[in-house]
Chain A
Amino acid sequence: EAGVAQSPRYKIIEKRQSVAFWCNPISGHATLYWYQQILGQGPKLLIQFQNNGVVDDSQLPKDRFSAERLKGVDSTLKIQPAKLEDSAVYLCASSLGARGRDEQYFGPGTRLTVT
């Protein structure tokens, strides 16, 4: 079974530029998460989708971050414009359901450096 796929793996941009990350979850997984992991910290949830609807985006900086999940499968996370503090690893995860007990499977992440 293929795991969660993410691209690109690495990205370097200058501040005020825009960037987009892509995630393809495990087939059949209805729930998709985007987490931000700043160096030396644990991942923090940015947004959660159930199929193509948003369940939780309370910690998404909506003035610069946006995300979509078209057709309830792939998802894209965008930052526009980027700030220095956005340098982090962006992790995508998926699970069968949205219950607290559902195991989340993580992708390899996209490491973003903003200069």
Chain B
Amino acid sequence: AQKVTQAQTEISVVEKEDVTLDCVYETRDTTYYLFWYKQPPSGELVFLIRRNSFDEQNEISGRYSWNFQKSTSSFNFTITASQVVDSAVYFCALSLYNQGGKLIFGQGTELSVKP
């Protein structure tokens, strides 16, 4: 069975601090995709990044970076120099190559960035 675990339920930081959101996944499939979505208070899930299981290169996009490690089945997300606008619930999700695209989500991590 497939599973995504986000052990951190809530994180609170002060603006300009760096913060890392953890994601651990379980699957026996060799071809899969990992995603991060942001859910601001408005409720709409916003796509942040997708990685496939064959590409372990880390990725940086502005203040956001992602660390994918197959050896530990982790796909962690770091926000550098956090801002109040980063306050949201962040979800890590998994989809399998041969399961029609459905996303299996973790429980989410609620990030609160205080000024």
Q: Give the nearest-CB partner of A47 in chain B.
A: B102
Measured in the bound complex, the distance between the Cα atoms of B32 and A98 in whole Å is 13
User: What range describes how many residues of B lie at the interface?
Assistant: 20 to 34
> Is the Cβ of B103 less than 8 Å from the Cβ of A105?
no
Chain B 33-51 interface mask (CB, 8 Å, partner A; 1/0): 1010100001111110010
> Is the Cβ of A43 less than 8 Å from the Cβ of B103?
yes
Which of B50, B91, B98 contacts A103 (CB under 8 A)?
A: B50
In the complex, besides A99-B97, A100-B31, 20 extra interface pairs with C-beta distance below 8 angstroms are A33-B101, A35-B103, A42-B4, A42-B93, A42-B105, A42-B108, A43-B105, A48-B101, A91-B45, A98-B100, A98-B101, A99-B101, A100-B97, A100-B98, A102-B101, A103-B50, A104-B47, A106-B45, A106-B46, A108-B43
Interface residues of B (CB under 8 A from A): 4, 31-33, 35, 37, 42-47, 50, 52, 91, 93, 95-103, 105-108
